[in-house]
Structure 1
Amino acid sequence: MKKLLVLMLGLVAGTASFAHTPTTTTQPSTTQTRLVMTPEHKIKLYVQPLQTKGRLAIWDASGKPVYNSTVALQKGFSQQFDVSSLGTGTYRLTLETGKETIAKAFVVQADPNESFVVQ
């Protein structure tokens, strides 16, 4: 009888430990994006797959949009922008999803070799 009681207590304790679910998540809270500027005045944007749509925009220094689009992010996103027609100055690329906004700044110079992305 004592062995049966110990066995049952062991089974109950073992089952209870499997029923515990962790309360913390290991998923990163920020979207993984990468922005690269080429010497030919092109910007390449890469975004990891997300289960949502996003609002993509490029803003000039005065806050006016020079590009605006809704993009699907379910399979990830990759796009190249030709910024050679933009005047010299600082611009901001933003990607808004339901929960967060990611902003990356880039500078367009008259000499393409001096244009760069600000992280």
Structure 2
Amino acid sequence: MVNTPAYLVPALLPALLVGIACYVLLRWAAVPLLVHLERGTEYAVNVVVIGLLLPEYCWTRAQRRVSGHVAPFAYTYGDAVCTLAAAGHRCVSTVAWALREAANQLGHRGALCGGLIGAGALLWSSRP
């Protein structure tokens, strides 16, 4: 009979479940989840951009109502925010593409190693 330390016995079943979940996630669910994560992140960037552009929009509208025209530098802030948003979209799509490619390259062995690492991390964290 194997002499297992007493603190590991209650953690074996959760570690096994985490290992199986990590394997399934890495093998079959990672690529579709990464596609949705990319879309969601791009939507989040768009929401932040809208929040950043709203004060400029309100200010230029108020300026137009009062004076009939806006200051020449009024659109500089909006252009800067849109440039940063475009850079953010490019960054998100590049990182998501790299993660999808890496997930596509994982085979059964890679997913199994990921599951073993997840289970080992859970067992390691249950140490006294």
Please, what TM-score do these two structures have when normalized by structure 1?
Answer: 0.22
Q: Which has the higher helix share?
A: 2
By percentage of residues, which structure has more strand?
1
- Normalising by structure 2, report the TM-score: 0.21
Q: Which has the higher contact order (CA 8 A, sep 6+)?
A: 2
